[in-house]
Structure 1
Amino acid sequence: MDMTVAGTGLDIRYPALHVKLIEGIEKEGLVLSQFEAGQPSLKWNFPLRNELVVALGDALVVTQADLKSGTMHSIEFALKMQKPIYVLPHRLGESEGTNWLLSKGLAKPLYDIDAFVALFGKVELTCKDDFLIYCDTHPLYHDAVEKFAQKVFEYECLGKIKVENGRIKRA
Structure 2
Amino acid sequence: MSAATESTVTVRLIAEGDRAAWGELYRGYRDFYGKPHDAAVYDTVWGWLMDAAHETRGLIAEVAGVPVGIGHFRRFARPIDAGHGLYLDDLFTAEAARGTGAGGAILDRLAEIAAEEGATLVRWITADSNATARRLYDRVATHTPWVTYDLAPRH
Q: Same fold (TM over 0.5)?
A: no
- The one of the two structures with greater contact order (alpha-carbon pairs below 8 A, sep at least 6) is 2
Point out the structure with the larger strand share. 2
TM tier relative to shorter chain: 0.3 to 0.5
Under a length normalisation based on structure 2, what TM-score does the superposition of the two structures give?
A: 0.35
Higher Rg: 1
TM-score, structure 1 length as denominator? Answer: 0.33
